[in-house]
Amino acid sequence: MITVFIEPDNETLHFERLKTVLLLQQRLGLRVNDALVIRGDMLLTPDCRLQDGDEIRIRKVISTG
């Protein structure tokens, strides 16, 4: 299972079996540069593989300014 925390919505989602960051982004309706995908202190590119037990932080970047 993969745990995904979404900012700034402060929402936590769980996914079974998502192989890559790209699939996660597609599931969330996000394009490659719409949000940072963070694991620990690293940024992930769309091709990165996700592992069971991963905790991922999605930080959306579009501001309302």
Residues of this chain that bind another protein (CB under 8 A): 7-8, 31-34, 36, 38, 42-48, 59, 61-65
Specify the residue, 1 or 27, whose C-beta has the smaller distance to another protein: 27
Provide, rounded to whole angstroms, the least separation between the CB of residue 32 and another protein.
Answer: 6
**How far is Cα 65 from Cα 4, in angstroms, rounded to an integer?**
26
Provide, rounded to whole angstroms, the least separation between the CB of residue 1 and another protein.
Answer: 24
The residue behind tokens 């590119």 is 45
Provide, rounded to whole angstroms, the least separation between the CB of residue 11 and another protein.
Answer: 14
